[in-house]
Amino acid sequence: MNKVISKDGTEIAFEQSGRGDAVIIVPGALGTRSHPQWIQLAGLLSEHFTVINYDRRGRGDSGDTLPYTVQREIEDIEALIDSAGGSAYVYGISSGAILALEAADRLAGKVRKLALYEPPLILDDSRPPLPEDYVEQIQAAIDAGNRGKAVEVFMTQALLIPEEYLAPMKADPMWQEMEETAHTLAYDGMISREVMAGKPLPAGKWSSITAATLAIHGDQSEPMFRDAAQAVADRVKHAEYMALTGQGHDVSPDAIAPVLADFFKA
């Protein structure tokens, strides 16, 4: 395990493997570097690149300095990029893709290429938006010491999982793992709520990104992810759009790794 110190003094833990140009993996809600999915993806990409698989702040072995701001998470990515030589390719998935977009927008020149898998944008009324008090609901549950309730809010209001499905999920050991990082659900809510409000993208948002960008969705995912990928491709200057055959939101590392390798090496 390695660590870098972010601008606010927070330690950010990461694993580094492979050699060549640097690729930083930005996971979505609740994701940590120790998840088998990220370990497998890092292993596949490390055949071509130096891969940085990290714990976002508040997760795993990384620190957490309050109050949380999106800018601080961007500074974490910048610290990782600087440790890798000053520039890197960045791959973000789900809400991590939104964070990656924000980083590319604010770190001009440091993000060489940007790959995104299914940023969860809700830009119209085809799907219920995040409630206006979504972040506050999660934070209230955390403040009350009820991490399970915070996960429930995420499941039912962000993922739209019916409440009757929660009981068997709570019996799975993964539920306890989700509770351990439940406080960071508020962080992802802050990252995402402006673009999950059921309204078009704000004027000019992400339009200053200059990095070549690939917006990907799985053809088995719900239509919102297709629409989101297309919206990013339409907004970002040097962006391409791609549908990945046979994949849903929980994309297989075996399916996404060759796509990322081809895009970053091109």
Is 13 found in the same domain as 116? yes
CA angle 69–105–90, rounded 5-degree value: 90
The Cα–Cα gap between 258 and 239 comes to: 18
What is the DSSP-derived secondary structure letter of residue 154?
I
**142 and 240: one domain?**
no
- Residue 199 makes CB contacts below 8 A (sequence gap 6+) with 123, 124, 129
Q: Nearest CA to 129 among 199, 230, 200, 30?
A: 199
Residues 99 and 183 in one domain: no
Residues 37 and 113 in one domain: yes
Number of folded domains that form the chain = 2
Global pTM reads: 0.96
CA distance 169 to 101: 31
Among candidate residues 172, 193, 214, the one where a domain is terminated? 193
| Chunked mean pLDDT (size 10), the chain, 266 residues | 97 97 97 95 98 98 97 98 97 98 96 98 95 97 97 96 93 93 98 96 95 98 96 96 97 98 97
Distance, CA of 2 to CA of 196 (rounded, Å): 34
Based on the fold, state whether residues 139 and 232 are members of the same structural domain.
no
Tell whether 112 and 223 lie within a shared domain.
Answer: yes
Output the pLDDT for position 108.
Answer: 87
Q: Same structural domain for residues 23 and 87?
A: yes
Q: How far apart are CA 259 and CA 41, in angstroms?
A: 12
Domain span at 30: 2-120+202-265
Say yes or no: 48 and 165 in one domain. Answer: no
The answer to whether residue 260 is domain-embedded is yes
Q: Whats the size of the chain, residue-wise?
A: 266
Q: Judge if 59 and 100 occupy the same domain.
A: yes
One domain, residues 115 and 149? no
- Asked whether residue 127 is domain-assigned, the answer is no
In a domain, 125, yes or no: no
Say yes or no: 16 and 113 in one domain.
yes
CATH number of the domain where residue 248 is located = 3.40.50.1820
In a domain, 250, yes or no: yes
User: What residue type is 120 in one-letter code?
Assistant: P
- The reply to whether 76 falls in a domain is yes
What confidence tens digit (pLDDT) does each residue in 124-167 have? 999 999 999 999 999 999 999 999 999 999 999 999 999 999 99
| Residue 15 sits in the same domain as residue 56 | yes
Name the domain boundary from 193, 222, 244: 193
